[in-house]
Structure 1
Amino acid sequence: MERVEVTTVVYADRQRVYEFLLDFPGYAAYSEHLTDVDQRGDGGPGTRYDLQFAWWKLTYTAHSKVTDTHPPERIDWRITKDIDATGYWFVDSVDPPEGEDVATQVRFLVEYDADSATVGSIDLPRFVSLSWVVEKVKPKIRSEATRIVERVVVDLEGQRRRVDLDVDTSPRDP
């Protein structure tokens, strides 16, 4: 399993951050490659999403499901078709820096098995191998996770600022 974890601090109340993250269809505005989100449910456990991605000559719809929530702290999800992937959003109150009234640490984690993707799950152009696509997509996962967290901060705080991100792509411990 490979993993990408992005962590930052947002100057907003924990409950507000949590509720904001439950509004998953809004993420389409944050991602360069996520073109549409179809939601079935209220954002809580059992909610299903069809995530339509487009990159290069490829289009793909990922099917995900919210597996658990622990308000106002955690939202767990998994991909339900074509690839083994799970993840979560974790929201935790932290001491604010000087000049700020409130601070919340936001962590986004995704773990995935790139080898679990199958040729039939993605419509590939002629002469393009799945292994080539997987190697090209891996760095995109990291950049997209980073982009999403940066844009979440802007919307929650109402203005753009330099965002300190901790990005960890170390393999998951066995």
Structure 2
Amino acid sequence: MDEIVVSTVVYLPPDEVYEFLEDFPRYARYSEYLKNVHQRGDGGPGTRYDLRFAWWKLTYTARSEVTDVDPPWRIDWRIVKDLHAHGQWRVEELDDLPADAPADADVACRVTLGVEFDAQTARDGTLDLPRFVSFDFVVGKIKPVLVKEAQRVVERIVADIEGRSREVELVVERRPS
């Protein structure tokens, strides 16, 4: 399994951060490759999402399901069609403000997006590849794109949730192999 973990600090209380993360259909606004999201459910466990992605010459709809929640601290999910993948959003309130916190900040949370996936599970024809393009070629090209996309999504969420643009320090703890 490959793993991507991206985190940053957000200057809002945990409940506000969680409420924002729970509104998954809005993520299409943050992603270059996620074109739309169709939600079936209220956002809690059992809620399903159809996620329509387009990258290069490929389009694909991933189906995910929320598996567990612990408001305002965690949202767990898994992919339920074609690909072995799961992940979570975690929110951790910080005891102290970072030294570089904005002057008007009075609370801070570390927000972490973690995703584990096995790209090889899509080998069985899940993707409709162009003629003469190998699965291994596509996997080799898409893994760095996934890391960059995770970073982009977290940066854009921070700007939207805080209502202002600022330089965001992202910590990428793990990358795909």
**Which category describes the TM-score, using the shorter chain as reference length?**
over 0.9
Distance 1:114 1:14 in 2: 32
Q: Is residue 85–residue 116 contact of structure 2 (8 Å, CA) maintained in 1?
A: yes
Secondary structure in 2 matching 1:121: coil
Secondary structure in 1 matching 2:3: strand
Secondary structure in 1 matching 2:125: helix
TM-score (norm 1): 0.95
Distance 1:151 1:12 in 2: 15
TM-score (norm 2): 0.93
User: Residue 146 of structure 2 aligns to which amino acid in structure 1?
Assistant: I
Q: Which residue of 1 aligns with 2:28?
A: 28
Q: Which residue of 2 aligns with 1:4?
A: 4
1:71-129: per-residue Cα shift (whole Å, max 9, x none)? 11000000111111010000011122363211111000000111111242111111111
Q: What is the CA-CA distance between 1:169 and the residue it aligns to?
A: 2.0
Q: What is the CA-CA distance between 1:170 and the residue it aligns to?
A: 4.8
1:33-112 matches, cutoff 5 A: 33-94=33-94, 95-97=96-98, 99=103, 100-112=105-117
Going from structure 1 to structure 2, the CA distance change for 1:171 and 1:140 (only over 3 Å counts) comes to closer
User: Residue 154 of structure 1 aligns to which amino acid in structure 2?
Assistant: A
Root mean square deviation, CA, Å: 1.3
Structure 1 unmatched runs, 5+: none
Identity between Structure 1 and Structure 2 (%): 59
Structure 2 unmatched runs, 5+: none
Equivalent pairs, count: 172
User: Residue 143 of structure 1 aligns to which amino acid in structure 2?
Assistant: K
Q: 2:118 aligns with which of 113, 119, 124?
A: 113
Distance 1:60 1:79 in 2: 13
